[in-house]
Structure 1
């Protein structure tokens, strides 16, 4: 029996999957159907960076994609973003991320302190399971809810922010990057329609 190849269509990261599939004897073809770029409006990225500049122990930063940091830095400047984030960490802000690829996309200071969950859904379960405690913080912020900063995609799923809100966090989301279909019809589309791929 002939096994048809798998079609890998993500905007990036397909090579890693192709290597893993090859180890199991599964052939694959890479043809991205999506592209990722910085959001057209950079104002949300600048606002969140400004918020970081005064953040401390009442705030957590959640990065759920390895694409986030590079697009955020592209919009506000690498040094400006890193200085704001490192300063916030020095003042007690905690950093959370999903998976080693996301952690490795962060500057060394953030990657070194980031607490990791395998994916956003599991991070949401940690929140609901009270394993991610509320931060009571300094007396100047007594009575205010802790703040969760979630920079991400314009089409990011809502499970994580909704879980945080249920747990009592004030959630600030910012659209940092956007995902779109590629401008041209992918060459693999006709082959997929004809059954050439598994």
Structure 2
């Protein structure tokens, strides 16, 4: 005598809901769309940055040609302090913009995730007579170090005040400011701004 056991139970069948599958597909589609939109915005910003860099290079070339022209035309004239100051100012403005624009143009936008807003804020608050040589951003923007120079010492606190107008720097306080006379230019000062005391030690 044999005994048969029926292991099939109708309650074990997993029923799938078409509505749940549609919601899952919709969520995945929305997520992919947002990623593509964010990538497109970053690429557009990079394209604009590259355009600014090209404009600055054209202006630099024109300024150099103008200097050569003035040197050839007025070779017998005495040294002009005014012209020298204008040339120094143009070089300072170029030095302030070029490193940041070159950095943005030479790297992939994916490498700037997390602090692109801080770089944009620095670019928006360009102050004549102040230029940056080194920028360090960490901890999502909570740790910030700015190294640069200014033609006059009083321009540094003015620059810090202008940065506070940007949303990416709202609430950020600089815990350390070190200024020293520039070794390259007697009339300028070098400065280091740090947002945390730990980095200043």
TM-score by length of 1: 0.26
Identify which of structures 1 and 2 has the higher relative contact order when contacts are C-alpha pairs closer than 8 Å and 6+ apart: 1
* Structure with a larger share of its residues in helix: 2
Give the greater-gyration-radius structure (CA).
2
